[in-house]
Each structure stands twice: as C-alpha cells, then as structure tokens.
Amino acid sequence: MAVHPYKKDLQEIGKSFRQMFIKSVLVRWSTVISVFFLIVMTVFPLWRILPLASESPFIALHYNIYLGVDRFGPVYQIFFLPVLGVFSLLLNLLIQARSFRSQKTLTLFFAAATPCVEFILLVAMGLIVLINI
C-alpha cells in the first residue's frame, strides 16, 4: 500500500514538533506565555463587556485620537483579536516545527516573536475594553 505524501509530511512535522518542545526551553516558555496571554485576552472581555451587552447591542471597537470612537459593531466582533492570536500562535508553531531541524535561528526568532505579538493583541484588547466601560 502506498502512503499518502501528505501523511509523511505531517508525521515529519509531528516528530519535529515533539523534538522542538523537548530540546528548546525558549519554545516551551514562549508557548506557555502566549497561551496565557490568549486566555487573558479571551476572559477579560467576557468578564467586562458581556454584562454590558444587555444594555447596548453595539460596542466601540476602535478609537482614533483625531475622531474619537470611529468603529462600532456587535459584541461578538470583540473576539476577533483572540481568534487572530490563536491563528498567529498556530502559524508560528507550524513555522517553528518546519524549520527546527535546519534553521534553529529562525525557530528561535519565531519563538521570541510569538509572545510579543500576543502581548500587543492583549494590550489592544485591554484598550478596547477600557473604551467600553
């Protein structure tokens, strides 16, 4: 029986992913910190914005220093940032796993950049929540 070519690639990525987490402390810690930021980024609006959803169907989603609040939307759109964070984390982990064996410097760059991106998204979420309360 012939093995599907993508199955071999996925097995190779899985093996590289396991080795990456076993051998690199930076990758482990950056992933843990990124997941923590994602959890906070999801729980914070649930805690502060959802009680306000019964009062107003729309919330402020963007603030401009020149015009003030310039974008309103339904409450569910506030969760775009956590979804973007999850997508960013998964994409960076995939790139790290693909490049771990051949280009360790690239892996370390993406491992260090992931919590920075998640932190920027967390700050943006915090500012959106502050606009609405």
Domain that holds residue 73: 20-132
Residue 115 resides in a domain: yes
Residue 13 resides in a domain: no
Q: What is the predicted pLDDT for the residue at 108?
A: 86
* 28-74: pLDDT as tens digits: 899 999 999 999 999 988 888 877 777 877 888 888 888 878 888 88
Residue 24 resides in a domain: yes
Could you say which DSSP state residue 2 is in?
P
Residue 48 resides in a domain: yes
pLDDT at residue 1 tops 70: no
Residue 5 resides in a domain: no
Query: Could you tell me the pTM of the whole model?
Result: 0.82
Distance CA 50, CA 44 (A): 10
* 103-127: pLDDT as tens digits: 888 888 988 999 999 999 999 999 8
Residue 117 resides in a domain: yes
Residue 6 resides in a domain: no
Residue 72 resides in a domain: yes
Domain total in the chain: 1
Give the pair of three-digit tokens for residue 68.
């003030």
Kindly give the interhelix angle for 5-23 and 25-48, rounded to the nearest 10 degrees.
Answer: 90
Q: What is the predicted pLDDT for the residue at 104?
A: 80
